[in-house]
Amino acid sequence: MNILVTGGCGFIGGNFVRLLLGTDRDFRLVNLDKLTYAGNLANVADLADDPRYRFVKGDICDAELINRIFSEEKIDHVVHFAAESHVDRSIDGPAAFIETNIIGTFTLLEAARAAWLGEGRDATGKRFLHVSTDEVYGSLGETGYFTETTPYDPRSPYSASKASSDHLVSAYHHTYGLPTLMTNCSNNYGPYHFPEKLIPLIITNALKGKDLPVYGDGSNVRDWLYVVDHCRAILRVLDQGKVGDTYNVGGNSEKKNLEVVETICDLLDEVAPPLADGMPRRSLIRFVKDRPGHDKRYAIDASKLRSELGWEPEVTFQEGIRRTIEWYLANTAWTDAILNGSYQEYYRSMYSERLK
Ligand code: NAD
Ligand code: DAU
């Protein structure tokens, strides 16, 4: 079994590579990652000596490279994480999202089609799992849930690019018979989360006594899932999912953003050294300019994954957020390397815009 994981140096991809290499399965895993600002070899550095693992630095838009990997490595399964993933960045500069999320996915699909469905080829046992997001479904009101049949209604350049890639994946299944699977997941959190995203941003800023930016009034709702539970779901779908199907993945753990931020503040006051001025960390909260087109609420109905494949989240939000905080406390070298690098300037200018 030869598996191509794209984006395996990012947050979820890295946790997935860790999960898979933590099993005693017999396989070969090729991790293809461009190492953008969000990709970090340190996320998988301790796994690099596993004889089942190979890292390739490269772009999913590079057709020649992808075709070479398919033929050299005789790829059976693709688990496709690589993407531009941050909504705010997609608003400031959508081009990279169009390129990687749409053209990159198209390039991978074409390579899989040539390798698995070309003249004299055999697609038996092959699987192309596309990792997607609940944001393709748009925004919910006070009630209701996204199901696998909710019509697509993306609202940011990020979600529009992911929706576009999802449609390409479905089209390749329906038109060419490519053996695809798709997962649409809610917000993840946990170890190795890049600190531009809400939870790691709040943890790292609160540890340093810096402002905690809350967009708008903090009443937007996200459905949080511990990243390892998401990775377990992906593995379950890869192993047992029905080809051509989509599976929604969610934590059944809706929280208003302000509640998430206050929970982190209170836990840090409990377990981390106090701030220099002795003030509670909630005093760092700043309500700032809202994200344009900010989706109000996401909530996933994951009952298909539960009833058909027996997956359930194992980690509650209370437990997961504690584990996450402990991880960030124990891994300040990982965060400092990011926070002291080129990201620092990006954050400063982005935050000053938010204060205007
Ligand atoms: P991330 O930004 O942390 O990681 C993305 C990875 O992809 C990085 O390692 C980056 O270097 C790599 N990459 C980017 N462009 C590339 C290219 N052109 N070629 C090769 N590699 C490239 O993202 P994440 O949060 O780990 O998300 C992974 C996937 O899961 C994405 O497809 C995202 O849409 C989806 N998703 C994320 C969440 C979430 O809460 N983070 C929820 C649901 C779905
Ligand atoms: O729902 C799945 C999606 O979750 C994934 O597809 C995306 O890749 C991932 O980035 C995430 O998108 P969000 O936009 O929901 O995540 P983010 O962490 O950027 O923001 C979470 C919420 O917190 C959102 O309502 C915006 C708000 N927010 C965010 C930041 C960075 C703040 O209030 N302050 C902040 O500083």
User: pLDDT per residue over 303-348, tens digit each?
Assistant: 999 999 999 999 999 999 999 999 999 999 999 999 999 999 999 9
Q: Which residues contact 138 (CB under 8 A, 6 or more apart)?
A: 152, 153, 154, 155, 159, 295
Contact of 239 with 232, CB cutoff 8 Å: no
Which of ligand 1's atoms lies nearest the C-alpha of 187? 40
Contact of 81 with 13, CB cutoff 8 Å: yes
**Cβ of residue 11 lying under 6 Å from some atom of ligand 1:** yes
Q: What pLDDT score was predicted for residue 356? A: 87
DSSP-based three-state secondary structure for 56: strand
d(CA 280, CA 175): 58
Between the CA of 101 and the centroid of ligand 1 the distance, in Å, is: 9
All structural domains of the chain with their residue ranges: 2-192+226-250+297-315
Q: What pLDDT score was predicted for residue 262? A: 98
Which of ligand 1's atoms lies nearest the C-alpha of 13? 26
215: closest CA among 160, 260, 172? 260
CATH topology of domain 2-192+226-250+297-315: Rossmann fold (3.40.50)
Tokens representing 190 are 């946990």
Which of ligand 1's atoms lies nearest the C-alpha of 8? 9
Candidate list 84, 134, 166, 196, residue with the active-site label: 134
Tokens representing 317 are 């939000």
Residue position matching structure tokens 């990020």: 158
Which of 198, 212, 349 gets mutated to test ligand 2 (max ligand atoms within 8 A of its CB)? Answer: 198
- Report the run of H or E that residue 53 belongs to, with start and end: strand 53-57
Candidate list 33, 135, 229, 295, residue with the active-site label: 135
Residue position matching structure tokens 């992911």: 162
The separation between the first and the last C-alpha atoms of the chain, rounded to the nearest angstrom, is 53
**Radius of gyration (C-alpha) of the chain in whole angstroms:** 20
d(CA 229, CA 340): 30
d(CA 264, CA 70): 44
Q: Is 158 a catalytic residue?
A: yes
Distance of CA 235 to the CA centre of its chain: 15
Contact of 250 with 134, CB cutoff 8 Å: yes
Q: What is the DSSP letter of 146?
A: B
Tokens representing 324 are 């996450």
Q: Is 110 a catalytic residue?
A: no
DSSP string, 143-187: S--B-TTSPP---SHHHHHHHHHHHHHHHHHHHH---EEEEEE--
Half-sphere exposure of 286 (CA within 13 A, CB side): 15
d(CA 329, CA 333): 10
Residue type, 185: C
Residue type, 90: S
Residue nearest to atom 6 of ligand 2 (CA): 133
Residue numbers in the chain where pLDDT is lower than 70:
none
Q: Which ligand number lies closest to the CA of residue 10? A: 1
Q: Is 73 a catalytic residue?
A: no
Q: What pLDDT score was predicted for residue 300? A: 98
Residue position matching structure tokens 């954050």: 347
| Torsion-angle region of 215 (φ positive above 0: left; ψ -120 to 50: alpha; else: beta) | beta
